[in-house]
Amino acid sequence: MRGGSMEHPRGVRSGVARTGVTGLIDKVRATIQKYEMTRPGDRVLVGVSGGPDSVALLHVLWVLSEELGIVLHVAHLNHMLRGEAADEDAAYVSDLAGRLGLPVTVESRDVAAIAREERVSLELAAREARYEFYREVARSTGATRVALGHHAGDQAETVLLRLLRGTGTTGLGGIPPVRPLGTGEAGAGNSKDKEGPVIIRPLIGVPRREIEAYCVDNHLSPRVDASNLAPVYARNRVRHELIPLLERRFNPRIVESIARTAELVREDDAFISGEVRRRMGHIIIGKSPGGALLSVTRLLAEPVAVQRRVVREAIALLGLGVEDVGFEHVETVLELAREGSPGAAASLPRGIWARKAYRPAKPLEGGDRQGVSLAIGSPVELILEFGSGPAPVPEPERWPSGETEAWAASESAARSHPGGPLAARGFEHTLNVPGTTFVPELGLIIDAEVFETKRCGRGEDARVGRVGHVGRAGAGPCPEPDPHEAFFDLDALGPSLAVRTRREGDRIRPFGMEGHKKLKDLFIDDKIPRNIRDRVPVIVAGKDILWVVGVKRSDLARVSPSTRRVLRLAVRAAEHGGPG
C-alpha cells in the first residue's frame, strides 16, 4: 500500500541552523572525496528512517550541499510494522524535511504482507521493499545518488555476523561505501563508473557515538525504533552484547578496527576478483536470459579458490548478493560439478537452481543470433546451468536459447511453423538431389550436391576409405570431417532419399563397425539428452538409415577409391525460419 507524496518548498525555515560538529562534517567530507561519491549537479536522494543515523546524514549533507553543489530530496518508507510509532516516524521526517526546506516523498508498504506472499523473512522483505522504493523515487525525481546512513558500527556488525555465519573475503569486505542501486551488496567501485543511480554511504567511517553526539549538539531529536533494542534479532545481539564485550575486554576501538580491516579486505578482494574475471571468459561459456552456463571441465581445472569465485559470479547473474549465498551453497554447487550425474540439480536460495547437463561442444553454424536451429556436434561437454523459477526435472523440457548455442529448434523457425514451437514429431520430407530441402519443423536446410571424385594426392586411397571423405574438382586437399556434413557413394544409393525423425525400432549400421545398433542405444551412448532426440534429423534411403545428423553416419554407401560420383549432404540453419 502506498501513501501520498508530500512536497515542501525549498528555502531554509526556522528551527534548524546550517552549522554542525566540525569533526564529523570533516570526516564525511573526506569520505565523499575519497570515494568520489558525488559530483556538482548531482541530485541526491537521502533515505531517512527518522533514526539518529539517517537524520544526522541528512543534516550533514544539507550543511555541505552548497559546497558540494548537490541538490537533496528526502525519501521515507513506512513499513507498516509498528502501528502508531511508524506513522509518527513518517510525520517526523516530513516535518524535518520541511524545516530544512527540502522536498520529501513519503510512502507506505505492507511489508508483513510482502513477507507472507514472497515467503521470506520480515527483514528481507523490508530491505527489498525499501530498495525498490528508492529505485522508484530516484527514477521519478531524476536522482543520480541515493545516500544511506550506514556507519562504522553497521560495518562492524555486518563483518561479525558474516564471520559468525561463515564467509569468504568478499563477505569480510563488509558494506561497500559505493555500489550501484540495482545490485546486491557485493563489490564496491568508483561512482563515476556506474550506470544508473548509485548508493553512497558518507557515514561509513563514523562510529555511532559520534553520530549520536552530533544529533544532540544540533538539537535534531531523532526517533528511536524500539525494535532495534529487541534481542530476538541476531544483529541486535551483536550490537548490544558482543561488540560491548569486545570493547570492554579486548579493544575499546574495536568498531573502528573492524571497519579498517573491512576496507583492506575489500581492496584486496577487488583486485583478486578482477584477476578471476579475466579467467572466467573461458569458463562461463554462455548466458541465457535467466543465468549462465559453465563448462564443468574448465571450472574444475582451476584452483579451488577460483572455482568458488566463479560459482559466486554465476549465481550473482541471477540477482543474489553476498547476504544470500553462503559457503555451503557454493560447496553444494561444486559438489554437483564434481560428483553429480548428468541431469542432477541443486537448489539455492530464493528459487535459484543449478543443474548439471550435457551440451554439444560445437554449434551448428548459420542462423540468426536469436537461437541456432540445432547445435549438433561432437564431442559433448558437461555444463552447469543456472536458472530461477521452478526446480528443473532430471530430463529438462527445454534447453537455453538466446545467446547460448542450444540443442533446440530455432525460436524464429519454430514460431513460423504451423505446428508451433518445437513441433518436430512424425515428419518426413523427400530430399532434392541435387538441390536444397527446407525442413520447417527444425528450421534446417539440407543441401545436396553431386560431383565427380578427384584424387587428393598420395595416400588418398587409405584416407578416403577410412573417413569416407573426398576432395571435389578444383578443390585443394581433402577437407577435414565436419559433423554437419556427410559424403556418400551416389551410385550405391537407391533412387530416393528422405529426412525424417526417429521411429520406434530404428537401427543403424555405424560407420566402421560390424552389425547394427538401435538408435536408442546410439543416443544413450553419445549422451544425447532425451528431450532432444525427437528433433535430431535422420537421413534415410528407403528403410536404411544413412546418417543421424551430427551424431553418426552409417557404413552404407561409403566413399571408396572406386567411387565415381559423390553425394555431399550438408546441414545448415535456416535464416529467419525459412530457406535462404
Helices (H), ranges, 238-303: 243-249, 254-280, 296-300
The CATH code of the domain that includes 114 is 3.40.50.620
The pLDDT value recorded for residue 430 is 93
C-alpha cell at 449: 550436391
Q: Look at residue 455 and tell me whether its pLDDT is greater than 50.
A: no
552-to-195, 478, 493 alpha-carbon distances in Å: 49, 20, 18
The residue ranking higher by pLDDT, 244 or 511, is 244
Domain boundary residue among 224, 242, 270? Answer: 224
Within 8 A by CB and 6+ apart from 233, the residues are 123, 227
Query: What's the CA gap between 167 and 429, in Å, rounded?
Result: 59
Q: 360 in a domain, yes or no?
A: yes
Q: Which of 187, 205, 224 is the endpoint of a domain?
A: 224
Query: What is the CB-side half-sphere exposure of residue 265 using CA atoms within 13 A?
Result: 19
Q: Do 389 and 464 have their domain in common?
A: no
**Residue 348, CB-side half-sphere exposure with 13 Å CA sphere:** 32
Does a structural domain hold residue 418?
no
Residues 477, 432 share a domain: yes
| Nearest to 412, CA basis, from 378, 447, 369, 449 | 369
256 has pLDDT over 90:
yes
State the Cα–Cα distance between residues 173 and 72, nearest whole angstrom: 29
CA dist., res. 4 & res. 11, Å (int): 22
DSSP 550: T
Angle at 261 between CA 272 and CA 304, to 5 degrees: 30
How far apart CA 309 and CA 280 sit, in angstroms, is: 9
Q: Give the pLDDT confidence score for residue 523 in this predicted structure.
A: 81
pLDDT of residue 403: 27
Half-sphere exposure of 371 (CA within 13 A, CB side): 25
Nearest C-alpha neighbor of 309 from the set 340, 345, 339, 334: 334
424-453 pLDDT per residue, tens: 457 889 999 999 999 887 778 899 999 887
DSSP assignment letter at 238: I
Whether 383 and 464 map to the same domain: the answer is no
- Between 392 and 398, the higher pLDDT residue: 392
Q: Where are the alpha helices (DSSP H) in 148-187?
A: 152-165, 169-172
- 540-566: average pLDDT: 88
Does residue 402 fall inside a structural domain? yes
Looking at the fold, whether 337 and 481 belong to one and the same domain comes out as no
Q: Is the pLDDT of residue 289 over 70?
A: no
Residue 206 has pLDDT above 60, yes or no: yes
Number of domains in the chain: 3
| 380 contacts 421 by C-beta, under 8 angstroms | no
Question: What is the average pLDDT across 238-251?
Answer: 95
Higher pLDDT pick, 437 / 422: 437
Look up the CATH number of the domain holding residue 289.
Answer: 3.30.465.60
User: Which residues have CB under 8 Å from 393's CB, separation 6+?
Assistant: none
Number of Cα atoms under 13 Å in the Cβ half of residue 100 = 29
**Low-confidence winner among 57-61, 317-321, 429-433, 478-482 (lowest mean pLDDT):** 478-482
Cell of 573: 540453419
C-beta of residue 358 within 8 angstroms of C-beta of residue 203:
no
pLDDT band at 46 (very low <50, low <70, confident <90, very high): very high
Q: Are 551 and 378 in contact (CB under 8 A)?
A: yes
* The pLDDT of residue 515: 82
The answer to whether residue 530 scores a pLDDT higher than 80 is: no
The pLDDT score that the predictor gives to residue 318 is 72
**Per-residue pLDDT, 470:** 41
Please count the other Cβ atoms lying within 10 Å of the Cβ belonging to residue 259: 24
Q: Could you tell me if 361 and 468 lie in one domain?
A: no
**What local confidence, expressed as pLDDT, does residue 229 receive?**
67
Stated pTM of the model: 0.60
* Residue 450 and residue 378 in one domain: no
Among 557, 575, 555, 578, smallest CA distance to 566 is for: 557
Residue 246 included in any domain? no
Domain annotation covers residue 539:
yes
Q: Which of 33, 35, 31 is nearest to 194 (CA)?
A: 35
Please tell me whether residues 193 and 81 are part of one structural domain. Answer: yes
Taking residues 495-508, what's their average pLDDT? 90
Residues 219, 309, single domain; the answer is no
- Considering only 26-30, 157-161, 511-515, which range has the smallest mean pLDDT? 511-515
CATH number (domain holding residue 553)? 3.50.40.10
pLDDT band at 119 (very low <50, low <70, confident <90, very high): confident
Tell me the C-alpha distance between 286 and 307, whole Å: 17
Q: Is pLDDT of 465 > 80?
A: no
Burial 335-358 (b: 16+ CB within 10 A, else e): ebbeebebbebbebeeebbbbbbb
pLDDT, averaged across the chain = 77
Q: State which H helix or E strand residue 188 sits in.
A: none
Indicate the SS3 state at residue 244: helix
Which range among 56-65, 112-121, 164-173, 283-292 shows the weakest confidence by mean pLDDT? 283-292
- Count the neighbouring beta carbons within 10 Å of the beta carbon of residue 454: 14
Instruction: Return d(Cα 179, Cα 146) in angstroms, integer.
Output: 10
**Whether residue 477 sits in one domain with residue 352:** no
Question: Does residue 174 lie in a domain region?
Answer: yes
| pLDDT recorded at residue 325 | 73
Coil, strand or helix at 69: coil
- pLDDT in the model for residue 319: 67
Digit-coded pLDDT (tens) for 154-163? 999 999 998 9
Residues 401 and 437 in one domain: no
* 251 falls within a domain: no
Proportion of the chain above pLDDT 70, given as a percent: 72
- Identify whether 439 is part of a domain: yes
Q: What pLDDT score does 383 carry?
A: 67
Least confident of 128-142, 184-198, 393-407, 561-575: 393-407
Question: Span 41-52, mean pLDDT?
Answer: 96
| Cis ω before 434 (30° cut-off from 0) | yes
Query: Looking at the structure, do residues 393 and 334 belong to the same domain, yes or no?
Result: yes
Which pLDDT score is estimated for 399? 33
What is the identity of the amino acid at 442?
L
537 neighbors 501 (Cβ within 8 angstroms): yes
Supply 260's cell numbers: 579498517
* 8 Å CB contact between 381 and 361: yes
400's CB contacts (< 8 A; 6+ apart) are 286, 288, 291, 293, 385, 387, 406
At which of 375, 406, 437 does a domain end?
A: 406
Alpha-helical (H) ranges within 384-528 are 411-416, 460-467, 519-525
* Listed range (470-484, 507-521, 542-556) with the worst mean pLDDT: 470-484
Q: What's the rounded Cα separation, in Å, for the pair 534 and 423?
A: 10
- Do 396 and 438 belong to one domain? no
Domain boundaries, position 377: 281-406
Give tens-digit pLDDT for 364-395.
444 332 222 233 333 345 666 666 655 544 43
Q: Give the residue carrying C-alpha cell 549465481.
A: 315
The pLDDT confidence band at residue 478, using thresholds 50, 70 and 90, is very low
Q: Which of 396-400, 410-414, 491-495, 510-514 has the highest mean pLDDT?
A: 491-495
